[in-house]
Chain A
Amino acid sequence: MASLLDYKCPNCGGNLVFDAVAGALVCDNCGSRYDPGQFQAVYQAGRPQAQAPAGADSASRAEGSTWPTGFGQYTCPSCGAAVVAEATAAAGSCPYCRSPVVMTAQVAGELAPDLVVPFKTTRDQAVEALRKLYLNKRLLPKVFAAQNFVDEVKGVYVPFWLFDFDTEIHERYIMRDVSRRRHGSTEHITTREYAAERAGRARFMGIPVDGSTNMPDPIMESVEPFDLSQSVLFRPSYLSGFLAERYDVDSNQAHARAHDRLTKSAGTLFRDTVTGHQTIKPAGSSVTVTKMAVHYALLPVWMLTTIWRDQRFTFAMNGQTGRLIGDLPLDRQAYWRWLGLLFSVSAVVAGGLAALAVAL
């Protein structure tokens, strides 16, 4: 039996969900508020029937035959229904009684996140942000914006690997000065070339790499950055009322992407220290990592999906900063219509002016 927690209000027994605006667990029945950090202890003491996470991992492994690549089964602690969930799911809700469920085995032991950035934005804000994304887009199909709003909005805690690097950076530059001297009809153009080497130390903190294969990497990188100074130590209760995934890309696999981004960050870090030349061009760089640390974090993302003409459109909003991204469809007819119209008008104006210039 997987270890599950459905957070019940100690006051009235209603469902407790994490409220992004209040930054607290709020009872959906009586409105009582609980601090997620302290709630754990209170909850564990008040409800001894909540299962302890110890040994839960092996139990759930034995239960789901295709785990960890397929699906796992659990019994809803609220209504007792047998529920099938994706093996990587760490939080969700019971499809029968809608009670929020946190699968603590998915966030315990090896799988326990170090940090969590709690949601700061609400579902309504995500929907509103998507509505605003549709505004003032001349080439967005009108029917897309009008008929097809949003099919599904999910608040997901996405597993991320956060990489800290202490580095030694080596950068090279080439500088050129050109001087011209003229004696009578002879001109001497002298080019002096210089080379500069700069070495130094730099620290990068919290380069995020998406740890879930369910989440498209380009979309996850587009909702960056997250302000990690607002992250808190992980408590499972933050997940209540949201969906959560556990990582299925391990930190070794993720490291390559973080290192790739790190390497591309160097090259012009010390550019300001190269002075006194007409042209200064970067001429290569190298990065040596002297110290590395990895943290496992759950970061908040609103995933919005809509299907239009059999095509799925995915939007993502940074659950902390509210930054919303997502590619929209192109109205090809409008594209060609506008191009034709603007081309014709510009051509007539430019041609008319040219004709005037030629004639006068």
Chain B
Amino acid sequence: MSGRGAWRRLVAAAALGLAATAGVWGSASAALADAARPLLQDTAGLLTADQASTLEAELERVSAEYRADVVIVTIRALDARTVEAYADDYFDYGPSLEDPALPGRDVNDGYGRGADRSGVLLLVSVNPRQAHITTTGQAIDIFTDARQDEIWDAIIPSLTNDRWDSALRRFVSEVDQTYRGATRFRWEIVALAALAGGLLGGLTPVTIWRRQLKSVKPAAHARPYLQTASLVLTSSNDTFVGQSTRVIHHNESSGSGGGGSSTHSGSSGISHGGSSRSF
């Protein structure tokens, strides 16, 4: 009787858990589908119309696949801002308000998907010949400093030789590869979590229930028979035995090496990762 009730409760709890999971998933996907800003902003006019539409389609595809805005912006000239500040502002406030001096700046017009505004933006400036990659949200962790170096190595030669289309297409394909590499282990993590959770949630209760069946065990000691009033300390002696010292030299350079991503905050207060190159 009680056993059947417990079964029913368990099944109900499982269904509830599944429903909650599906619900969160659904609302998350809905939130991610609202981006409508063009992902390619070739204001410098470096591409032909054909090249631009092909590149934009690629950007749309990659952005949709990895649920992050992958954006490319080209400009003729840089204003008073650094290439980093320009790129960050462009990502944070969107294409309509390029000049930060203008009133009515709104971060709601900016790029980025999901609550953490995930995305990556490449800014190419023709004068001066500088470029910047800015990363936001989850992309900060995916595009590590080391990974950004590799991307630069792949596209700088083309940029230097004014082969814009080749450079930008290469950028998109590098971003694609980076995301694919970063998301490749996802199902392993899920499987591992499921296994660990299953073992923990499965073995713990049955082990407890199994132990309930055992109550015969030999006595380990005779403590209950100690007359506590009879316990008398007759001698007590503490001695210093010795000491040993270990010396550790800490590495002072706190650089994040190959695994990390360095971050900074733009004028909007949103945290970004990124790096710049001249070409």
A residues apposed to B, CB below 8 Å: 136-140, 142, 168, 174-175, 182, 185-207, 217-219, 221-222, 224-225, 258, 261-262, 264-265, 269-270, 273-274, 325-330, 335, 338-356, 358-360
Contact = CB atoms under 8 A, between A and B. Distances in A.
B244 A191 contact: yes
Q: Which of B198, B236, B240 has the most CB of A within 10 A?
A: B198
A197 B237 contact: yes
A221 to B, nearest CB: 4
B204 to A, nearest CB: 8
A354 B222 contact: no
Interface stretch (B45-53, B55-63, B103-111, B247-255): B247-255
Top-3 shortest CB links A-B: A350-B197, A346-B201, A351-B194
Contacts of A200: 231-235
Given A201-B234, A344-B198, A347-B197, A327 B213 contact: yes
B233 A198 contact: yes
Given A194-B241, A198-B233, A351-B194, A187 B216 contact: no
Contacts of B138: 360
A211 to B, nearest CB: 16
Interface stretch (B12-20, B123-131, B258-266, B267-275): B12-20
Contacts of B186: 355, 358-359
Given A140-B213, A335-B210, 5 more contacts: A139-B210, A222-B217, A330-B210, A343-B201, A353-B197
B30 interface: no
Interface stretch (B21-29, B83-91, B92-100, B150-158): B21-29
A281 to B, nearest CB: 13
B220 interface: yes
A344 B201 CA distance: 9
Nearest to B200: A346
A192 B194 CA distance: 45
A351 to B, nearest CB: 3
Nearest to A135: B2
A348 B245 CA distance: 50
Q: Which of A264, A269, A351 has the most CB of B within 10 A?
A: A351
A347 B198 contact: yes
Contacts, number: 248
A360 B67 CA distance: 9
8 contacts: A136-B2, A191-B245, A194-B241, A264-B222, A347-B195, A348-B14, A349-B201, A350-B197
Interface of B: 2-3, 6-7, 10, 13-14, 17-18, 21, 24-25, 28, 67, 114-116, 138, 183, 186, 189-203, 205-206, 209-210, 212-227, 230-252
A78 B33 CA distance: 97
Contacts of A349: 14, 17, 21, 197, 201
Contact of B235 (A137, A197, A347, A352): A197
Contacts of B191: 351
B245 A189 contact: yes
B28 A360 contact: yes
A277 to B, nearest CB: 9
A348 B114 contact: no
A165 to B, nearest CB: 9
A193 B201 CA distance: 42
Contact of A354 (B116, B194, B200, B221): B194
Contact of B206 (A136, A199, A269, A335): A335
Contacts of B221: 261, 264-265
B47 to A, nearest CB: 33
Contacts of A262: 222
Q: Which of B200, B210, B238 has the most CB of A within 10 A?
A: B238
B224 A224 contact: yes
Given A185-B249, A342-B201, A351 B217 contact: no
A339 B222 contact: no
A205 B222 CA distance: 9
A171 to B, nearest CB: 10
Contact of B227 (A205, A343, A351, A359): A205
A198 B241 CA distance: 16
B190 A354 contact: yes
Given A185-B251, A185-B252, A347-B194, A325 B216 contact: yes
B15 to A, nearest CB: 10
A53 B244 CA distance: 74
B235 A217 contact: no
Contacts of B226: 202-204, 265, 269
Contacts of A353: 21, 193, 197
Contacts of A343: 198-199, 201-203
B24 A224 contact: no
A274 B183 CA distance: 55
Contacts of A339: 202-203, 206
